[in-house]
Structure 1
Amino acid sequence: MKEDFFNDTLENKEVLIQPNEGETFTMNGISFTFKLTSELSNDQLGVYEIVLAPRAIGAKLHYHRFMDETFIVNKGTLTLFTGAKGNKHLIGPGTVAYAPRFTPHGFQNDTDEEVRLTLLFNPSQKREGFFRGLYETLNSDTIDPEKYLKLYNKYDSFPVDTSNMLPIRDQ
């Protein structure tokens, strides 16, 4: 059969994920739900629903070399840090914040209300492995900074300051 160079071949590969669907992990006042995974998107896009309890830290200042990260706030006020010095931004529902590669960023909930957001990673770089490893690492009796850094680096995350990288407030 001769290959057709002039016509598109259409495919039915759509994915629909309902509001309460997806694998969910909960730890340290944070829950994350896998909505669109690396496997479903051929590693092109990862979409994750994040819920931060009051005063919860999502991530300290870090950057990515090979993926972009987009934050969409759905509920509450998120504190977003950007730039090498961690400029502070308070962003509310409907706000979209884009952190392209090599852009330092971090986020946390500094309020007494729950914050809900959607995180998008493009490409996704198998981000689900990062979240599963994070769940394992942060649910240990003591957090091993070397293990945490190894996980971070494996999944294209690089702390700006390794002495202040763990997502806990007492540092």
Structure 2
Amino acid sequence: MAPEAKGAAPHTHKRSTEMFYVVKGEIEFTVGDRKVVGEPGAFAYVPKGEPHGFTNRGTADATLLIMFYPIYDREDYFRGLGRLTADGRSPSMEELRAHMAKYDQFMV
């Protein structure tokens, strides 16, 4: 993630637990009503149904390892998101919400 990249806006998953491992940089996680900054080696566990999001608040690039259990085709979610934003295109909120719901992700 580039410095000051917004990452993921607050959202929930009805069927999946999501986990994050900070490989590089500083990531600010919002989980429920808490905000926590994770540096390399930090691990964040988000149970299904818990609102969460993340941003790169640092001044350097950041790398996250993101894990889901169960996975429910998350690779397809990210591929589809890439198609929706190809060539710098900004998808409509309707397109984005429909895509997210297809893969167990719901905006808060």
Bucket of the pairwise TM-score, normalised by the shorter protein: over 0.9
8 Å CA contact retained: 1:78, 1:107: yes
Cα offsets for 1:13-71 (capped at 9, x unmatched): xxxxxxxxxxxxxxxxxxxxxxxxxxxxxxxxxxxxxxx11111221000101011000
SS at match of 2:23: strand
Question: 5 Å matches for 1:7-18?
Answer: none
8 Å CA contact retained: 1:137, 1:144: no
Match of 1:123 in 2: 70
The structure with the larger Rg is 1
Cα offsets for 1:55-98 (capped at 9, x unmatched): 11221000101011000011111010111x4x221111111100
Question: 5 Å matches for 1:109-148?
Answer: 109-139=56-86, 141-148=89-96
CA distance in 1, matches of 2:106, 2:77: 13
Q: CA deviation at 1:143?
A: 2.1
Match of 1:79 in 2: 28
SS at match of 1:146: helix
The one-letter code sitting in structure 1 at the alignment partner of 2:48 is R
The size of the alignment, in residue pairs, is: 107
List runs of 5+ in structure 1 lacking aligned partners.
Answer: 1-51, 161-171
Q: CA deviation at 1:138?
A: 2.2
List runs of 5+ in structure 2 lacking aligned partners.
Answer: none
Match of 1:155 in 2: 103
8 Å CA contact retained: 1:80, 1:91: yes
CA distance in 2, matches of 1:91, 1:75: 10
SS at match of 2:11: strand
SS at match of 2:79: helix
SS at match of 2:7: strand
Match of 1:70 in 2: 19
What TM-score does the superposition give when structure 2 sets the normalisation length? Answer: 0.93
Once the two structures are aligned, what percentage of the paired residues are identical?
36
CA RMSD, Structure 1 to Structure 2 (Å)? 1.1
